[in-house]
Structure 1
Amino acid sequence: MVMMDAEFFAFEDLTWQTVPPPVRHPVPAAYVPDLEVGDEVTIGVPRRYFIDGQVLLRPERRLVEFPGDGELHESVAVCAPIHYWTWRVSQDRNPVMQWWPADYAWVYRDALPPEGTSVESEEASSNVEASSWLERVRLDADSPPVLRPVTARDAGALTGRALRSRNAAGEWFWFVGASEPLDVGGDICVRVVPQPHWWLHQVGYYPELQGKVRSLPLHRLFAYA
């Protein structure tokens, strides 16, 4: 009788690939003194709407009169991502920016797990199943919504969308979807690129960036809604 080594039947534990990322909460910029140039900011027009994905262009803050109410506000310098990333590669550009009240600006941060709970178990218990749209109806538009992870498979269109994936060490990385799901060697994947790559290609072709295009399995990608 031939005894088979137990390792012959062993398989790699891939559960880390499907652990959802943490919930994201908006924190008022007025309470975030350590904002750095390049950080993403959501700005809002009071009680009307929000603009996600703005980028902090300068570290300092100024007292600036906001046309919306004619009052002085401590303000942060923000610009559209396309202006920020083109400025990063060409410092002689003059990016279009505006001073926006910190009272009407927010920075999204990952939720912290309850004390005594490991990040791993907290993330694993997150509910990423689609819920009723009625649960997202809000009473007002005074602050941006809490963002919850959803599997990319259930997120709808992925091209141009911010996506998140994690490696075996548990580190989270941000990408932008550059394709819809496609068959790559028999696996269902999505082409993704770093954020700078995506925005720079809105204004030109950068051959040196092509090596940064990656194909990630669909099941490893998450979006937020």
Structure 2
Amino acid sequence: MGLADDAFEVPDPPPVLVPVPAKRVLDIHSARVVCGVPGVGWRFDLRADDPITRDGMMLVPLITEADYYRAVDGDGDAFASLVPADDVWVQQREPNPDPIIPPPGYLIDRLTDPDKPPIRGPVPASDSPVLIGRRVWYWTNEGYRDDFRCVSEPFEIDGDFCVRVVEEAAWYRWSRTGHLPKPHDAFIHHLWTQ
């Protein structure tokens, strides 16, 4: 389980995830989405399929991330909920205009409009109080990937602070089948929570 990235590289922050109404996005198949209604609240960790029209209403089939990865593995069918397109937003990557998203800290800095799906800005893993189970952006020499989950809290290897991560598909497979994932020890300054 050697380190898979260069300790001396300090990358710029990854993109911000901005919710865009599903009706304004051309291709939403397999996209990560936010679902909700003003006055109620918001759900994350969902995937969308291509919209359908039923009785003149555009509906978006939604499944959980766990069901999405189960279907990707060919381990059974995923049954989607049909949600009105007006209640679905696609998380689109936009360059990080740091510091549009305030760092974690004071509550006053984290206040949002509860009637709009929030923008999700990356937070350095070193600033997150809990990492196990969190989805992270993982920077390697090829750039950022957003399909990793943390399976440890920070630890030290030869003076470097690291976190053990696994690919998200393997994370969900582990939960579903008990098949152990192959972990990578990543430098903490190469990880950003979502």
Q: Does 1:22 find its partner at 2:15? A: yes
Counterparts of 1:52 and 1:13, CA distance in 2: 32
Q: Does 1:63 find its partner at 2:69? A: no
CA contact (8 A) 1:73 1:103 kept: no
Helix, strand or coil at the partner of 1:203:
helix
**Which of 177, 180, 187 pairs up with 1:217?**
187
Q: Does 1:94 find its partner at 2:77? A: yes
Counterparts of 2:157 and 2:122, CA distance in 1: 25
Aligned residues: 188
Question: What are the ranges of 5 or more consecutive residues in structure 2 without an aligned counterpart?
Answer: 1-5
Q: Which of structures 1 and 2 has the larger relative contact order (alpha carbons within 8 angstroms, sep 6+)? A: 2
Per the TM alignment, residue 50 of structure 1 is displaced from its structure 2 partner at its CA by 0.8
Q: Does 1:79 find its partner at 2:68? A: no
The answer to which structure has the higher helix fraction is: 1
RMSD: 2.5
Helix, strand or coil at the partner of 1:87:
helix
2:3 maps to none
Listed one character per residue, the Cα deviations across residues 75-104 of structure 1 (whole Å, up to 9, x for unaligned) are 11111111121122225x232310111111
Listed one character per residue, the Cα deviations across residues 165-220 of structure 1 (whole Å, up to 9, x for unaligned) are 22335x2112111111122344221111111111111111225x42xx21101111
Counterparts of 1:76 and 1:156, CA distance in 2: 35
Q: Which is higher, the Rg of structure 1 or of structure 2? A: 1
Q: Does 1:41 find its partner at 2:33? A: yes
Counterparts of 2:16 and 2:77, CA distance in 1: 36
Per the TM alignment, residue 128 of structure 1 is displaced from its structure 2 partner at its CA by 6.2
Helix, strand or coil at the partner of 2:169:
helix
1:149 maps to 122
Identity %: 24
Per the TM alignment, residue 34 of structure 1 is displaced from its structure 2 partner at its CA by 1.2
1:184 maps to 157
Per the TM alignment, residue 127 of structure 1 is displaced from its structure 2 partner at its CA by 6.7
**Which of 108, 132, 147 pairs up with 1:134?**
108
CA contact (8 A) 1:191 1:214 kept: yes
Listed one character per residue, the Cα deviations across residues 79-136 of structure 1 (whole Å, up to 9, x for unaligned) are 1111121122225x232310111111111122247xxxxxxxx56x777644532133
Deviates more, 1:156-165 or 1:21-30: 21-30
> Residues 198 and 98 (structure 1 numbering): CA distance in 2 closer, same or farther, change over 3 Å?
same
Counterparts of 1:163 and 1:149, CA distance in 2: 8
> Residues 176 and 99 (structure 1 numbering): CA distance in 2 closer, same or farther, change over 3 Å?
same
Counterparts of 1:137 and 1:60, CA distance in 2: 32
CA contact (8 A) 2:16 2:120 kept: yes
> Residues 112 and 137 (structure 1 numbering): CA distance in 2 closer, same or farther, change over 3 Å?
same
1:109 maps to 92
